[in-house]
Amino acid sequence: MKMTIRFAFILIHEFTMSPFSLFVDTLRLAGDEADRSRRIAFDWQILGTRGLPIRSSCGFDILPTVESSHAGNFDYIVVVGGLLGRAKSLGREQIAFLQQAAGAGKPIIGLCTASFALAEHGFLDGYRACVSWLHLAEFQAAYPAVQATADRLFLADRDRTTCAGGAGAADLAAALVVKTLGERNAEKAADILLLDRIRTHRDLQPSKNLFGEVANFKVRQALLLMQNSCSEPLPVSEIASRTNCSPRQLERLFSAHLKISPGHAYMTLRVERAKALLAKTEMPISEIAYQCGFVNSGHFARAFREHAGTPPSKFASRWTGHSR
């Protein structure tokens, strides 16, 4: 008889409900016959202080089911992130529990913005991590020791797995089900949840598209590569190679679908990232120039003015009330 696989959930204050519930429901439906919800193949507990509720971002409170205990009692540790800026990070007991789990080699999973909390306390140093495109620039600026990407729904790197959040949590849970029980159980859970299909780590993360809806897969893939390498821009030839086409073919595809060249699209994305950093951080302009892949502040200022119509200092003053 197979052993029950046990999951410990750490819910950060003002955690997002959807990735938490989709992850658990995938385990619940896959781990038993039909939709009977018995904890046969999988079991789960919410760690915390008994009697003290944990507030979700939508205002619902969840009560912990067990006190924080020895990491050896669980096979996977899942941290669920919350609202950035307003949310509290990990508490001392949670950090100690994660340190114990990491020391024992337990797999640690971060859902949604949990990647920020894990990176803050060094649990992702030297690892690759998947974050939402919405927070990619902010994450890369804050945690340079982590190789962050937004080109997929989730990413597993050794004993750390991170997920952009939302419906991607169901896909990540399904991947774990496939690994332990097989595709049939994962598909059964997806069918009951009315999901069209199970997406894998190879699926592209839906992202904000500055250029509107793009039907061509290779163009979308190239744009995601550009978004994820703003700080160290890749040659267009390298982007073409990674999308399995020639530079000439990539030029034709961008011309046909976006009416601009790959180089122009790349520069637009880098300037947009600079805008986000100018608006959301207190970084000096020289540092923002570096984070966006410009060789010096002068080059950055010229490119920014050309694409944004104003110098970066004036753009920053609109948000902060003073120039940097």
**CA–CA dist 16, 178 (Å, integer):** 25
Q: Kindly state whether residues 168 and 314 are assigned to the same domain.
A: no
* Segment holding 157, helix H or strand E: strand 154-157
Please report whether residue 203 resides in a domain.
Answer: no
User: Final residue of a domain: which of 133, 163, 192?
Assistant: 192
Residues 314 and 233 in one domain: yes
Q: Is 200 part of a structural domain of the chain?
A: no
Strands 61-62 and 54-55, bridge-based pairing = antiparallel
* CATH number reported for the structural domain that contains residue 231 in this entry: 1.10.10.60
Burial (CB < 10 A; 0-12, 13-18, 19+), residue 207, is middle
What CATH number corresponds to the domain at position 52? 3.40.50.880
Domain identity same for 213 and 188: no
123 and 264 part of one domain: no
Please give the tally of structural domains in the chain.
2
Last residue of a domain, one of 192, 225, 253: 192
* Pairing outcome for strands 54-55 and 42-46: unpaired
Per-residue pLDDT of the chain (324 residues; tens, 9 = 90+): 468 999 999 999 999 999 999 999 999 999 988 778 889 999 999 998 877 899 998 899 999 998 876 767 899 999 999 887 655 688 888 999 999 999 999 999 999 999 999 999 999 999 999 998 778 878 888 898 998 888 788 999 999 999 999 899 999 999 999 999 999 999 999 999 998 888 887 776 665 566 667 788 899 889 888 887 888 899 999 999 989 999 999 999 999 999 999 999 999 989 988 887 887 777 888 989 988 899 888 999 999 998 888 888 888 766 555 555
Q: What is the DSSP letter of 135?
A: G
Q: Are 62 and 11 in contact (CB under 8 A)?
A: yes
pLDDT at 87: 52
156 and 270 part of one domain: no
Residue 233 and residue 160 share a domain: no
> Per the domain annotation, does 272 fall within a domain?
yes
Assigned token pair, 71: 């990491």
Does any domain span residue 242?
yes
Distance CA 10, CA 81 (A): 9
Helix or strand holding residue 70 (H, E): none
Residue 61 parent element (H or E): strand 61-62
Output the CA–CA distances (angstroms, integers) from residue 38 to 20, 75, 276, in the order listed.
18, 18, 46
If one counts every other C-beta atom within 10 angstroms of the C-beta of residue 109, the result is 25
Look at residues 163, 192, 221 and tell me which one is the last residue of a structural domain: 192
Q: Kindly state whether residues 118 and 143 are assigned to the same domain.
A: yes
Residues 134 and 88: their CA atoms lie apart, in Å, by 20
Q: Using alpha carbons, select from 265, 288, 283, 57 the residue that is nearest to residue 166.
A: 57
Helix (H) or strand (E) holding 162: strand 160-163
The answer to the question of residue 84 being in a domain is yes
Same domain, 186 and 215: no
Give the integer Cα–Cα distance in Å for 71 and 10.
Answer: 12
DSSP 63: -
268 and 240 in one domain?
yes
Amino acid at 280: K
* Best CA proximity match to 8, nearest among 99, 101, 84, 95: 101
The reply to whether 323 falls in a domain is yes
Domain-located, residue 238: yes
Please tell me the distance from the alpha carbon of residue 158 to that of residue 99, in angstroms, as a whole number. Answer: 16
Same domain for 181 and 297, yes or no, is no
Is 176 found in the same domain as 32? yes
- Judgement on whether residues 242 and 155 belong to the same structural domain of the protein: no
* Distance (Å, whole) CA 211 – CA 221: 13
Which domain, by its residues, includes 170?
A: 5-192
Q: Residue 291 falls within a domain, yes or no?
A: yes
